[in-house]
Structure 1
Amino acid sequence: MATDDSDGTSRWTDEDPGPLLRNFAITRGRTRPTRDYPPFPLTAVIHTVTPDPPADPVGWGPEHRSILSLCRQPTALADLASELDLPVSVLRVLLADLLERDLISLQDPATQERPSRDILLEVLHGLEAL
């Protein structure tokens, strides 16, 4: 939205100015994790391992602290990206930083053991009985 200043010139203002830092600045120019981790799926659940993370290690930004704070409760990667308003690719680099320091755990629900056929049949019969 354009507004007029007192001297008659107009300037552009916006209610939402967007991020203050570019994504490459948040990751310090990295586009991939420093270690060769398997890709983190969007359904991966992240949880903080320790309730008291170290105070401001070198190379940490406010995003690292936000991740640890939000992940005190298990949180899906997609939800975390949305909450922090960060692209998933940037978030994956930051998560790898925290994984290297053993501060978070990451579980992929898709790789968890699936229920047996017998259990699924019991559930089906129970639903049919309703």
Structure 2
Amino acid sequence: MPDDSDDPDGPLFDDSVGRLVRPYTVSDGRTRPTWHFDLMTMVVATGTVLRSNLGLDHAHVLELCRTPVTVAEIAGHTRMPATVIKVLLSDLAERGAVVTRPFNTGKQGPCPGPDPDLLEALRDGLLKRL
């Protein structure tokens, strides 16, 4: 059996069945973020070193925020509900590890727009669930 210790999805994700840990376990059962985020809120890491260990899912979300990214993109990459991502981002924002920026349509500004391929895949996935 291959060693999954270096795999960020590790034993928590199985391609054939999906996530093996309930998403709300990741947020300690919390369903309401303490900060306001919508799906198109741009989030970026500040570079602040966290003094406390929040867990692997927080670390994964923080890694995705190295470059500006939308909440929807983070949810797509992690395969977790946006509500859970908003709770994790709230934890990170409270500790100064991430900041939010207005969504940029790509005209000008510091934040690039979201990946169109990812947004299309997200839309297609949502349509399949309807």
If the length of structure 2 is used for normalisation, what is the TM-score? 0.63
Q: CA RMSD in A?
A: 2.2
2:17 corresponding residue in structure 1: 17
2:8 corresponding residue in structure 1: none
Larger radius of gyration: 1
Deviation of the 1:68 alpha carbon:
1.1
**Mapped contact 2:31–2:84 kept (Cα < 8 A):** yes
Runs (5+) with no aligned partner, structure 2: 1-13, 105-130
- Do the aligned partners of residues 15 and 96 (structure 1) sit closer, same or farther apart at CA in structure 2, a change above 3 Å counting? closer
Write out aligned runs for 1:29-108 (5 A).
Answer: 29-33=29-33, 35=34, 37-38=35-36, 40-50=37-47, 53-54=49-50, 57-58=52-53, 60-108=54-102
If the length of structure 1 is used for normalisation, what is the TM-score? 0.63
Q: Displaced runs of 4+ in structure 1, greater than 2 A?
A: 52-55
What is the count of residue pairs matched by the alignment?
92
Deviation of the 1:77 alpha carbon:
1.1
Q: Give 2:91's aligned amino acid.
A: D
Q: Give 1:26's aligned amino acid.
A: V
Runs (5+) with no aligned partner, structure 1: 1-13, 111-130
Q: Give 1:54's aligned amino acid.
A: L
Percent of aligned positions that are identical:
32
Q: Give 1:28's aligned amino acid.
A: D
Deviation of the 1:43 alpha carbon:
1.1
Q: Deviations over 1:67-114 (max 9, x none)?
A: 11111111111111101111001000000000100100111227xxxx
